[in-house]
Amino acid sequence: MLAPRKIKHRKQHKGRMKGIATRGSSVSFGHFGLKALEPGWISSRQIEAARVAISRKVRKHGKMWIRIFPDKPITKKPAETRMGKGKGAPEYWVAVVKPGRIMFEVEVANEAEAMEAFSVAVHKLPIKTKVVGRREVGA
């Protein structure tokens, strides 16, 4: 599972997911990318599940890149705990994804293989996505 090695602060505020992604919004490495259409938190478990799904389809035919990293700690208080007594302990890590962000990229022979690989991965993710080509993103 993905998680940062070292962090400045153990706990973070929730934050807001306003606006669209300006960084990481174009296909840079591969031929096709999986683009987020809505904002959301993607946990390290979901990223790993999507990675495994894509790599099973791509295998020896191409390459894959993960363009998101879970660097935000999400805290949780234990069940049946009374109010107060501070913020809970960090439970898991998430990547904050805004609309327009390219989350995964693949380099394969044709578009059909990319669509097949991404269609399996989409079911592992909690947000709406679409497959984009390298030329399509800039327009």
- Tell whether domain 32-76+89-138 is in CATH 1.10.490.20: no
Count, residues in the chain: 139
Q: pLDDT tens for residues 14-35? A: 999 999 999 999 999 999 999 9
Structure tokens at 6: 């070292």
**Any idea what DSSP says for residue 27?**
-
Closest CA to 54 of 125, 1, 126, 2: 125
Q: Break the chain into its structural domains and give their ranges.
A: 32-76+89-138
Phi, psi at 65, each rounded to 5° = -130, 140
* Strand ranges in 28-128 using DSSP code E only, listed in sequence order: 32-36, 40-43, 63-66, 72-76, 89-97, 102-107
* CA torsion through residues 47, 49, 52, 55, sign: negative
Statement: the pTM of the whole predicted model exceeds 0.85: yes
Q: pLDDT tens for residues 58-116? A: 988 899 999 999 999 999 999 999 999 999 999 999 999 999 999 999 999 989 999 99
